[in-house]
Amino acid sequence: MEIDDVKMYYDNIDSFGDEVMPIEFQEKYTDLAMEAYRLALEKCAYLKPHMDNVKKNSKLFFGVDLSIESNEVLYKKGLCRYVYIEGNKLDRLLQKQKMQMVDGAVIGDFWKSYVYDSIGRFLVFCPNLYGIVSLAGNENSVEIKNNHSKVLLAFHFNNFIFHESRSSFVWLENNAPSLLIELCKKYDFDKNVDINNLVIENAIELLNDFSNRNREKLAYDGLFVRRDFDGILHIHEGLICYLCENLEELEFHKNALFICYYSDVLTSIRGDSPFYLQDFSLSERMKIAAYVSYYCHKSGIMTNHNEFRVELVENDDFLSFIRSHNYFDFVGFPDIIESLITEELEWRGLSLLNDGEI
């Protein structure tokens, strides 16, 4: 990176003001920003991960191999692999298109994605030079500020993602919990107990914000389910399973968060959907209800919760839906359902007998 590059960058930043930066400017200085992050992380003693780690951990946390997947696919997942000027021309053109801004508003997926640098093997969000580089002394050298907050954030995030560093996780938990929460809600990573707890606490905080009329929608948005770029439903089975297995030990507010959601989902398949579930189709709500019911009854802690039992007996469409999807390949689900149907019918027979109707 040359001294003139840094001078020109800050001069142009000042001259643009609130105006949209030309795409050529964005391209040039994003190239330099990626270089600056790479140098800054090296100064922080960031250990460049082995390619095996990149492949394994990017699949673990993001469900995709960052090193080989096409950018067309990665952008749909809120990710991309950076393409330098000497890289593939078509990929560079796609990146340029994804950087576009209109009237100061971000419309390009590039600025909404984690950007993977294949040279330094790190991820960064919204890479830019501002504050990370400066001119030192009498403006005769370029200084990379590896202690800048954006660099520290990138260091700990990458150290956790690619090296699974516990100390970096604790740093993120204390300084940037939203990044960890996003791993679950946006990227479907729901296999870490500590992150699951952060996600649940965040949902409770949103749910208890009575000043917000959309508090339920915000609390449950992306919590147990989400739709991806292509509209495909993703169910956070790890989070649901964790709650079911630990429901009796959880604090009341965590317990209530889940039980209320479960009841609302079951009620919604009869057509009475709360506001936060109305964006989901009937088949999606039936699928969610089936998944949650399976994990509830598999854990053995929901045996007294009879709403699912009632639906199985009274709602033929729901039961047929589960059977037509081969019980979603859940081990033991057919036996659970048959047992619940038998219990409900026996209870109803007993109830009628006690009422003198039989």
Q: What is the pLDDT of residue 158?
A: 98
Same domain, 156 and 207: no
Same domain, 135 and 230: no
The number of C-alpha atoms within 13 Å of 19 and in the hemisphere containing its C-beta is 10
Considering the domain boundaries, does residue 173 fall inside one? no
Number of neighbours of residue 200 by Cβ within 10 angstroms:
22
Asked which of 100, 131, 160 is the last residue of a domain, the reply is 160
Q: What is the pLDDT of residue 356?
A: 52
Q: What is the pLDDT of residue 254?
A: 83
Same domain, 59 and 107: yes
**pTM of the full predicted structure?**
0.89
Q: What is the pLDDT of residue 103?
A: 58
Considering the domain boundaries, does residue 87 fall inside one? yes
Identify the segments of the chain with pLDDT beneath 50.
Answer: 358
Parent domain of 304: 179-354
Q: What is the pLDDT of residue 358?
A: 46
DSSP-derived pairing of the beta strands 225-227 and 233-235: antiparallel
Terminal Cα distance for the chain, rounded: 89
The C-alpha atoms of residue 73 and residue 79 are separated, in whole angstroms, by: 9
Q: What is the pLDDT of residue 304?
A: 56
Q: What is the pLDDT of residue 21?
A: 73
DSSP string, 233-247: EEE-HHHHHHHHHHT
Percent of the chain with pLDDT over 70: 92
Number of domains forming the structure of the chain: 2
